A and B are shown apart, each in its own frame.
Chain A
Amino acid sequence: MRAALAIALLLIKEIFRKKDFYVALFLMGVILAYASQMKFYEVRSVTRYLLDLGLTLVFFLTVILAVSLGARQVPSEAAGRTLQVLLAKPVTRGQFLLGKFLGTFLAAAAAFGVFAAVFFGAAFAKGASFEGVLLAQAGFCFLLNLAVVSAMAVGLSPYLTVSANVSLTLVTYLAINLYGPGLKDAGAALAPPLQAVTWTLYYFLPHFEFFDLRQRLVHRWGALSPKLLLFLAAYAALYAAAFLVAGWLGLRRRKV
């Protein structure tokens, strides 16, 4: 665990010393500044729509950051030959991958904290208000979502190039968010072989939409029960572990 933590901390240091994070922060600032100039005329639905849009932006920018960071972990270490030096130390390949996952997740979580602070700072300044418990739950669920997506990008990084990994992870993430909930119903209308494929996908793929409490937060639909939160945490842990094990299998016997 010591080695994994050291690797994770190095990755966090990297993100705060490289420009990706600051570019995303700048982009976020520009969009929020633009949005804050809009006149809502106290139309509640428009205000809610803009809050939803802002939250989507915060979530999606963080996911992009996590994916781009996670996807390059194994390829960039291999290309720079730093992987050779690292694995020549008393570090197992499992510890290496775990460290990369922790680092990606923690760095993205820190970025999320900054983006969220900017967004909610602007929202509160414009007079918006949120339910405290629900706000905390939305943050917690997004962190679970971030853990799964970080594990997915890191887990795929021994197999794919950076661009292929970023594309595949983001397309999968978006597709599941958009079409995941309707997959079961869509499958019901199909012929048996296709139905089986669709339903397998439905039960096999991680349902990122489970972690999305944006609508609930913006429309004040009430907090989740502790039991449900616990289920979501276990669900996220299961998928994160599955992606990391898949990554480890790809790295285990790889010639470095």
Chain B
Amino acid sequence: MSPRAGQLVQLNPKTAPPFPEAAKADLRDTQLRRNVARATDTIQRKRGALVAEKTDWQALRDAGAAIRHEALANLDRYLLQFEESFQAAGGTVHWAANAAEANRIVLGILRERDAREVIKIKSMTTAEIGLNEFLEQHNVAAYETDLAELILQLGKDQPSHIVVPALHKNRQQVRDIFARTMGLPELSDDPEALTAAARQYLREKFLRVKTAICGANFLIAETGAVTIVESEGNGRMCLTLPETLIAVVGIEKVIPRFADLEVLLQTLPRSATGERMNPYNSIWSGVVPGDGPKDMHVVLLDNGRTRVLRDAIGRQTLQCIRCGACQNACPVYRQSGGHAYGSVYAGPIGAILTPQLEDMRHAQSLPFASSLCGACYEVCPVKINIPEVLVHLRSRVVDRGRRKLSSLFDQERAGMMMMAAIFANRRRYEAAQRLARTGQSTIHHGDAWYHWLPGMAGRWTETRDLAPLPQQTFREWWQQRGQQ
């Protein structure tokens, strides 16, 4: 059992514990680790097979990156174009500078229609702004209809993955949650029985509730369309049955043209769920009489994104199409699971997105939560160079710290400064090598390995031994050899 098991997980970057601390607790949860490894292995295997069959995969990645880059480089223009075309098609566009504004806008729309309950399609953006909690405080019940989101909502849990939010739960755990909250003590853990129970639970809500809230995979500037891809059909229900539909969408989700979907709808499903095509692809271009919602709203959310755009290296983060492939490929995420990232955006993409959305004021441990192995960059369908952004953000964290008086007492910083001074000069470097060996001889005898070291190095020897310094450096050997 995890030390955190049974506690309510809060994914708030402003209050979350640092990654190493949260991960340490979650690493002890054996069930979690088994679930995460199994699920990510399965998706990766499926993805690998489907990517391998595309001979033009690298060209598709280049094309996807170019589309997303073009959209972000001209975001002002494409957002206005989207607004114009969406409104021309009968929809309404709202602009929200931050989470609070977006929540108020959504509540305002609901109040005008006297809506006391809403059905929801899985949306990380509404999780980012804490919309469900906000609505609950204002006496509006939000029902999640995506199977994974339903599991989390009923289990009072939080998403640990952007595509498979309940990836950290296995079916026995899902059974327990459903049995308890739906009053079905006899429920089996057979996947068909579980989905049937969810279907039963949700069907009545689909038919009753008149308002739906969704996110979007893409907004198309050219046609004013909202694009949603999904696997379960719950999304299609939410998009077709209600009278009012509200999409809360990050401003970076816009793409220039309808034709861009040709590329992105090939790379997204392969990367996300290991499918050639999503089972349900909905593209809504405004209000159509007699078909779907009569009242459509898009709330365009900034919430820090414009600021991210200002950073020449960091801005590529916004190219993300939320496929989660980096999470599945990440060896760190594989061990820690998603909650340790303290944000709805877990894994490598979360490690670069969250601190930037927080203006580098919170979540500062996240850029360091990576071994820089590059597996994320390799699988990214829009070629976000995540390791490059990680090391860039690390330097932003370090540079902020330079201005603080407390940095003078920072062991790591002192060590780094000393090493930089040593490496700057050959004689100093050679003297440091000799000094280290002399120092070793006072505490160490023979060729025994270190099992314990002081300070930060002690984190190494908690689980690993360290060989003693050899009696001769390479350069000493080389110089000695030259003299012979």
Report whether chain A binds chain B.
no
Residues of B with Cβ closer than 8 Å to A? none
> Which residues of A approach B to under 8 Å, CB–CB?
none
